[in-house]
Structure 1
Amino acid sequence: MMMTTLLPNPTDPRLSRTVEGVDEHGQSKSISVIEERPLTIYLNSQEIVTAMTIGDHPTYLALGFLLNQGMLSATDQVTGIDYDEELEVAVVRTAGITNVEDKLEKKTRTSGCAVGTVFGDMMAGLDGLRLPDTPVHTSTFYDLSYQINHTPSLYMETGAIHGSALCQGLQVLAYVEDVGRHNAVDKIAGWMHLNDIPAADKVLYTTGRLTSEMVIKTALMGIPTLISRSGFTAWGVDIAQQVGLTLIGRMRGKKFTCLSGQHRLVFDQDLSKIPDEEKKMRRKGAGHD
């Protein structure tokens, strides 16, 4: 079955608006700024969290959040996802009763922008996890990076936003954005679950820092390779090494640094054919949050 690629929609009037101001010369200036709105997520009758988001793909975000927090497992039968735009509420419904009380007893604030919240033990689910040893060719990194950085997006229009892209080979399957990098990854997780997308041969590209939270989410999704233009945190690297995740950061122009999972890399790119990154690259500054 042919699947439609999920891409940003920078022309959606709900996601940004024009604000009038002045520049450094005192001259009038109009700029487009990203919208933020709350989304309250329920699991059956239990209220779980209210997240700040740009408001697109609320069903993917709600489902992906619950999956990535371990409140839903891949075997739980999701019977429906209801979204009320006026109330700004998404309700994920399952066939059976799901016990989330233990997860709600402990809350940990993370370093994610827009205040990411992780419930319960952040390391839950990683014990014994080993990601598939699918090889990845370095030549694909440069092509994917170019595609993502030149795709029309809200970042190009407004800044102040992060993106995550699910890739297979040279194809970008899904590219989503949000004010928090963790929200963008959760949307990817929800989209993958609803479309039965296998993870073993995929690469996840993010514009955000490679923190412990980003590494944990990627590992629990079963994706073996995570790439970013931005840098690393030490705990993120430690966890990636524990589960064997290929972790690539600071990917700019010809350069990248791999701090975990080097065994998957196939170095097939002729670097002499890769141009140096432009000083005023359109995504300059992405990922610094």
Structure 2
Amino acid sequence: MKSNDNCGIQRFEKGRLRSVSRTVVQEYPLRLTVNDRDLATLVASPHQLNFLVAGFLRNQGFVSSLTDILTLGVCADFGAARVQLKGEIPERLSPTLTSGCGTGITFALPHPPAPAPLKVRFPPVSPAAVFSLMQDLQRRAEQYRSHGGIHSAAVGDGRRLLLYAEDLGRHNTFDRIAGEALFKGIDLAGKILVTSGRISTEMVGKAARLGIALIASRTSPTDMAVRLCQEAGITLIGYLRGENFEVYTHPEGLLAPRHERIPGVTGVILAGGESRRMGSDKSLLPLNGARFIEHVHHLLDELFDEVILVTNSPSLYGDLPCPKVPDIYYRQGSLAGIHSGLCHAGNERIFVVACDMPFLSGAAIRRICAETGTAEVVIPRSASGLEPLHALYGKSCIPAIEEVLDSGERRIVSFFPRSRVVELPAAALADIDPEGLSFRNINTPEEYFALRDRSLLPANPEAASG
């Protein structure tokens, strides 16, 4: 964004005044008319005003998709924007002056929906991804460096920057991002939002309605913003500067640094199922910009020094950076996959998960792996029963597993009577995962589409059967 306004000023430097030219921020009032009704005057920077208007209407709850907007026109010469919506706007609106720069505004609708807690646990984000996105934000903030007074914000998916906005008002940057995402069809659910400005409660409200999973700022949040992030399930980071930051809410949204990996355990992903009910390979289904199996691998790679994929179709996962090993007992089910993982692992213990478990929690996995002693199997129990595809196994189980496989038995629990098994009751993980989401997998197209729509999936009684 470039400004053409230059101002002759006197600069006091080294004990004397001298004349210099300084580019100053442009302040542009835009009168917004919606359905032939004067709604508000937005004070903003004079660029990409269509994104600003659409995002403002979206964040105020007047629209949820582009189809709600019949026409949107901006006349920059006259500082006016006219919008025709498919639906009506409420007759009575209560404007609230916010803490935004230049005094922001938000409307209390007759029955405003409170930002609901995020219904899907999105894959945790590495600190490196947060630092990288903030660095990208700073590199793009050219106008801020040239004359100050400009706020900036960006959205990323943990791999790259997707959207960037800058404006003299920090609230406007959120609206611009929401509007551009609306125009470009970018789903903001589960994404990372970084901003140069302070995080206030109304900004968190906007982010929560968009499904943002993590918010990071170079400065501090307000107390109400912290409370709202806690309620909404959003990871909130403040004072992100250099190589440091402070986490105010939901630290489980961050991956553990590499030096805190779980020692002596190999992460094992089983990808040998036939996906009959899904109709296609579940591990390759897309979710939030990556495949199921990529999300699972990404989490395990941050938790364990070694991750192994057990699959009889290694060519499907050629770009996954981990060893791929086949069944030793070919196509004998999940028990054979566990056996192969144990035989190929470089550690004495393995933690086993399936490739279609999108709600995995690093904190829950850590707690299970923390159970030491003489146990050969550490397995949690949920409302559905034992969860053998979210459990810890030791190499000493190999003879017992081979014995039952040789007998033709394929159920995972069939070798338990021959091994030392420790069961973790549901209460042991209740503070981390009270709804037992970690154990749920995706088996049908209906469950998959429900996940994409960010709805809670129904309990899956078959998840514990192996």
Smaller-chain TM-score bracket: 0.7 to 0.9
1:132 CA displacement? 3.3
Distance of 1:145 and 1:32 partners within structure 2: 25
1:60 matched to 2:48? The reply is no
Pick aligned residue for 2:183 from 181, 185, 194: 194
Pick aligned residue for 1:173 from 157, 162, 165: 162
1:127 CA displacement? 5.2
Pick aligned residue for 1:29 from 12, 17, 20: 20
How high is the sequence identity, in percent, across the aligned residues?
A: 30
Pick aligned residue for 2:83 from 89, 92, 101: 92
Question: What is the letter of the counterpart of residue 5 of structure 2?
Answer: R
- Unaligned runs of 5+ residues in structure 2 are 261-466
Question: What is the letter of the counterpart of residue 98 of structure 1?
Answer: E
1:214 CA displacement? 1.2
Larger radius of gyration: 2
1:84 CA displacement? 0.8
The CA RMSD over aligned residues, in Å, is: 2.1
Match of 1:3 in 2: none
1:92 CA displacement? 2.3
1:56-109 Cα offsets, whole Å, 9 max, x none, are 111111111111111223485222211111221112222x3312323x2x1211
- Unaligned runs of 5+ residues in structure 1 are 1-8, 272-289
Give the secondary structure class of the aligned counterpart of 1:141: helix
Distance change >3 Å, CA 181–CA 152, structure 1 → 2: closer
**Number of aligned pairs?**
256
Match of 2:209 in 1: 220
Question: What is the letter of the counterpart of residue 38 of structure 2?
Answer: E
Structure 1 contact 215–240 (Cα < 8 Å) conserved: yes
Distance change >3 Å, CA 35–CA 119, structure 1 → 2: same
Match of 1:119 in 2: 107
Match of 2:140 in 1: 151
1:138 CA displacement? 1.1
Give the secondary structure class of the aligned counterpart of 1:150: helix
Question: Relative contact order, CA 8 A, sep 6+: which one is greater?
Answer: 1
| Range that drifts further, 146-155 or 49-58 | 146-155
Question: What is the letter of the counterpart of residue 228 of structure 1?
Answer: S
Give the secondary structure class of the aligned counterpart of 1:101: coil
1:38 matched to 2:29? The reply is yes
Structure 1 contact 249–257 (Cα < 8 Å) conserved: yes
Distance of 1:198 and 1:58 partners within structure 2: 21
1:249 matched to 2:262? The reply is no
1:12-63 Cα offsets, whole Å, 9 max, x none, are 3xx3411111111121111111111101112221211001111111111111
1:236-270 Cα offsets, whole Å, 9 max, x none, are 00111111111111101111111112121102367
Distance change >3 Å, CA 270–CA 219, structure 1 → 2: same
Q: Is the helix fraction higher in 1 or 2?
A: 2
Structure 1 contact 40–49 (Cα < 8 Å) conserved: yes
Match of 1:285 in 2: none
Provide the TM-score with structure 1 as the length reference. 0.83
Give the secondary structure class of the aligned counterpart of 2:17: coil
Structure 1 contact 59–83 (Cα < 8 Å) conserved: yes
1:240 matched to 2:257? The reply is no
Structure 1 contact 16–34 (Cα < 8 Å) conserved: no
Return structure 1 stretches of 4+ with deviation > 6 angstroms. Answer: none
